[in-house]
Amino acid sequence: MDIAQIVKSTQEQGFAAWVDYLNQLRLNELLAKLAAQDINLEQALAELQKMKIDIAALIASNRGGEKGMHGFLAEAAEVGIENARNLVKGLDAACKWINDNGPADLLRDGVEIQQKFVRAGGHFGLEAVKEHLEKYPDFLKNGGKYQLPKDFYQELKRLLAMSQEEAAKESASTYRLWKWVQEFFSESGITPDDLEPAVLDYAAAQKGKIDETAKNEEKNIRDEDQRRRDEAYEASKPTLKQGAQAAAVGAAAEGGMAFCLGVAKKLKQGKHLAEFTEEDWKEVGVNTAKGAGQGGVRGAAIYAMTNFTATPAAVANALVTASFGVAAQAYQLQQGNITQEDFIVNSEVLCLDVSVSAVASMLGQTLIPVPVLGAIIGNMAGMFMYQIAKDHLSEKEQVLIRNYCESFAALNKLLEERYQQLMAQLKKELAKYTSMLELAFDVNVNIAFDGSIALADYVGVAQDRVLRSKADIDNYFLN
């Protein structure tokens, strides 16, 4: 029995299982991120829905009147939009609407915020900021912030970034506004750092625009959700860096194994380690370098095949091993060391060896679903059985075992194809069910009614239990 061959085969299949485990970790991480993002999106949309309800209530009650309503709408929108943008990213909803006509309109992580959506005076609402500070002189001392419409804040920052010459050159009105802003910050005790931009421009918070603003924000939230899903998918893809890592580990593992087997072979011949000659170490070194080279190629090839083709790791490893072996036999044939018949027979035996190794590894990983460990145990058990068969059983029995292994591999391939077909069918049916479910809960009552009927028929509700018309509904509730 060739114990060295079993050990080498086990090391190779163990490495292949490790590469497969790396791939599975990436897939698991992707699935976890997508599941978390489902929750993020649901919470963000719920926050926007709450905002819409608050806005509708403000409009219905005419809060603030025609001239002041937009200020309350801006407060509700600020909270809803800011929280939704945080939630869709997996962050906390940090903003709270105080709504009590006190010194602060909003609270964000313990920081009080006073909004000033004021156009009167044409000074970005800074007069209103000054009046508020005169009324509540400790507001800034206590860590408060003033919030201006986003477009007001951006224009104010642009003016502050100008030099006197630039402001005068732009226009007379710009220069007058620039001077007023400079005087305001030098005399009021308020600094630009005490201000921050709201999420909305002034116009977006108006009564006639707020519904459109809410719809646009919902689209923005869905776009951000999709962007994060795309990022998660891109991050889960195989990378050149990880492929290089697999090649490096493969080189180290196979080179190390070649070194250990080479030294063990010399020790088995009766030599002590101290007795190794320069020629002995040269032979061990050559075999180690050869093993490292093959390991690097094996690592890169297995990583590529398992990620870019539908090839299981055990099979990919078997293909690499077979390729090395057949190439070595071809070289021997070219050198005239073996005959054509020897080449064919040796290649067949080699391919059978690696096939048994692959099947045993996959079977072991199935029966022992522990990453890498199952493949190692399965390979060892399978190769021991196979080696015993080759050493001790008759040619007829060997043929039976070989045929069994080939049949098992063919059956495994057939099952894999059937599995892929069933998965495709399941995904198709799930997509259809999801689509019908969305129609059944559509905000449009008519669409939802028809969708509910279709959904009931699809899931197998008895025909006489489904309300299909207005008359059915009246009969059900009135009789």
> Got the DSSP string for 277-297?
-HHHHHHHHHHHHHHHHHHHH
On whether both 243 and 175 belong to a single domain, the answer is no
Residue 82 included in any domain: no
Which span out of 195-209, 309-323, 434-448 was modeled with the highest average pLDDT?
Answer: 195-209
Q: Which two tokens stand for residue 323?
A: 């390729």
- Is the separation of the CB atoms in 291 and 312 below 8 Å? no
Q: Give the domain-ending residue among 164, 181, 197.
A: 197
Q: Return the higher-pLDDT residue of 418 and 148.
A: 148
Residue 274 has a pLDDT of: 64
Task: Give the count of domains, the chain.
Answer: 3
Rounded Cα distance between 3 and 12, Å, is 14
User: Quick check: 324 and 294 in contact, CB under 8 A?
Assistant: yes
Least confident piece of the model among 116-130, 185-199, 225-239: 225-239
> What mean pLDDT, rounded, does the chain reach?
78
Q: Which residues contact 363 (CB under 8 A, 6 or more apart)?
A: 378, 382
In the predicted structure, residue 31 carries a pLDDT above the cut 70: yes
**CA distance readout (Å), 296 to 19, 21, 293, 317, 376:** 13, 18, 5, 12, 20
Contacts by residues 278-287 (CB-CB < 8 Å, ≥ 24 positions apart): 284/259, 287/258, 287/259, 287/261, 287/262
Nearest-CA neighbor of 358 among 391, 406, 305, 295? Answer: 406
> For residue 470, is it within any domain?
yes
Rounded average pLDDT over 258-275: 65
In sequence order, the β-bridge partners of residue 106 are: 97, 113
List, in order, residues 6 or more apart from 188 with CB less than 8 Å away. Answer: 126, 130, 133
The residues, ordered by sequence, that sit 6+ positions from 387 with a Cβ below 8 Å of its Cβ are 1, 2, 5, 6
79 is a domain residue: no
More confident residue, 288 or 234: 234
Least confident of 79-88, 145-154, 161-170, 324-333: 324-333
Say whether pLDDT at 206 is over 80: yes
Q: Is the pLDDT of residue 203 over 70?
A: yes
In-domain check, residue 276: yes
The answer to whether residue 473 is domain-embedded is: yes
Q: What pLDDT score does 290 carry?
A: 66
Query: Rounded mean pLDDT of 355-365?
Result: 54
Pair 84, 217: CB distance under 8 Å: yes
Q: Which is higher by pLDDT, 49 or 465?
A: 49
Domain boundary (284, 306, 328) is at 306
* Of the residues 290, 306, 322, the one at which a domain ends: 306
pLDDT higher than 80, residue 393:
no
Q: How many Å apart are CA 139 and CA 144, to the nearest integer?
A: 5
Closest by CA to 46, choosing from 88, 74, 75, 76, is 88
By the 8 A CB rule, do 451 and 442 touch? Answer: yes
Q: Is residue 290 part of a domain?
A: yes
55, 56, 57, 62 alpha-carbon torsion, rounded to 10°: 90
Tell me, what's the pLDDT at 74?
94
Asked if residue 423 lies in contact with residue 390, where contact means CB atoms within 8 angstroms, the answer is no
| Residues 185 and 126 both lie in one domain | yes
**Sign, Cα dihedral of 51, 58, 128, 143:** negative
Check whether 114 has a pLDDT greater than 60: yes
pLDDT score for 218: 95
pLDDT tens figures, 278-327: 676 677 676 677 666 666 666 666 666 666 665 665 666 666 666 666 66
CA dihedral of residues 460, 462, 467, 468 (deg, nearest 10): 70
Q: What is the CA radius of gyration of the chain?
A: 37
How high is the pLDDT of residue 444?
A: 80
208, part of any domain? no
CA dist., res. 307 & res. 239, Å (int) = 10
Of 113, 94, 88, the residue nearest 103 (C-alpha): 113
The whole-number average pLDDT for the span 115-120 is 91
Query: Residue 290, Cα to own-chain centre: how many angstroms?
Result: 38
Q: 184 lies in which domain range?
A: 118-197
Looking at per-residue confidence, does 219 or 26 come out higher?
A: 219
Q: How many helices (H) and strands (E) does the chain have?
A: 15, 5
pLDDT for res 476? 74
Q: Are 378 and 363 in contact (CB under 8 A)?
A: yes
Q: What secondary structure letter does DSSP report for 270?
A: T
**Residue 462: per-residue pLDDT:** 86
The answer to whether 405 and 356 have CB atoms below 8 angstroms apart is yes
Residue 164 lies in a domain: yes
The predicted pLDDT at position 457 comes to: 81
Q: How confident is the model at residue 2 (pLDDT cuts 50, 70, 90)?
A: very low
- Residues 125, 186, single domain; the answer is yes
What are 119's two structure tokens?
Answer: 């156009």
* Contact between 243 and 237 (Cβ < 8 Å): no
